[in-house]
Amino acid sequence: MNDDDIKQWFAGLQRELETAYLAAETAWQQSGFSGPIERWVACRRVIADCMKESGTFLDIGCANGYLLECVLGWAGERGVEIDPWGLDLSERLVGWAKERLGNHKEKLFVGNGLFWEPPRLFDYVRTELCYVPNECVHSYIERILNEYLTPGGKLLVAEYRSRGQSSSGPWVDDNLRELGFAVESCVGGFWQSQELTRVAMVCSSKIG
Ligand SMILES: C[S@@+](CC[C@H](N)C(=O)[O-])C[C@H]1O[C@@H](n2cnc3c(N)ncnc32)[C@H](O)[C@@H]1O
């Protein structure tokens, strides 16, 4: 893929997701999730469960900010204080995230995780492998580990599946191992006995 192909790949992704999310009605549908709120909770709460200590959290692909809002609440129930930051390709979705998270407006950015220069380091970063073309996945993950995370910070790589795809093929942790990354731990989000979310944790090996 040359630079033009990569540019077009991202333009296509943004067009497709933005069109669907902006037309949706509920907060979770505007974050790309279809199904009832109970399923959203079952499939997304596992992300907050990975956060055992208070710290900064960057959601790469924050859409309308609903996951950030939920994670603040879920972690807060356990006394874990999360400072929420977000990044998304879509200016309009980041606009909605700013409305949702008014007190944190200045921490929500329009940009591409593959190229963005973070203004600080984060204790937790969430993303997905499907946010970049296949040939960029290795450098994307390496870049987050080296340039986005505090020493010892945790990269939470999520994979979300529909009920029809639940048991199809290798999950994100297998893909990361195949690429040579050390997956420290892994959790699943289940709905009616089907695993629909998996979150693989990879730790930054930087020395503090
Ligand atoms: C499925 S939503 C995720 C919503 C929420 N964070 C969650 O985990 O449920 C995916 C979002 O990622 C954004 N996105 C995709 N690729 C991206 C990239 N390379 N950099 C920044 N945002 C990206 C899309 O614009 C979209 O809003």
Q: Could you tell me if the CB of 194 is within 6 A of ligand 1?
A: no
Instruction: From the CA of 140, give the closest atom in ligand 1.
Output: 19
Of 16, 39, 60, the residue with max ligand 1 atoms within 8 A of its CB, to mutate for a pocket test, comes to: 60
| Residue 208 within a domain | no
pLDDT band, residue 167 (cuts 50/70/90): confident
Q: Could you tell me if the CB of 62 is within 6 A of ligand 1?
A: yes
- Average pLDDT of every residue of the chain: 95
Q: Could you tell me if the CB of 60 is within 6 A of ligand 1?
A: yes
| Residue 36 within a domain | yes
CATH number of the structural domain spanning residue 125 = 3.40.50.150
Q: How many domains does the structure of the chain reveal?
A: 1
| Tens of pLDDT, residues 169-193 | 999 999 999 999 999 999 999 999 9
- Per-residue pLDDT, averaged over 113-129, amounts to 98
Of 58, 89, 140, the residue with max ligand 1 atoms within 8 A of its CB, to mutate for a pocket test, comes to: 89
Q: Could you tell me if the CB of 129 is within 6 A of ligand 1?
A: no
| Tens of pLDDT, residues 35-73 | 999 999 999 999 999 999 999 999 999 999 999 999 999
Q: Which residue range is the domain that position 106 belongs to? A: 3-203
Shortest CA distance to 199 belongs to which of 71, 110, 69? 71
| Residue 12 within a domain | yes
* pLDDT of 129 over the 90 cut: yes
| Residue 190 within a domain | yes
Q: Could you tell me if the CB of 29 is within 6 A of ligand 1?
A: no
**pLDDT at position 207, please?**
59
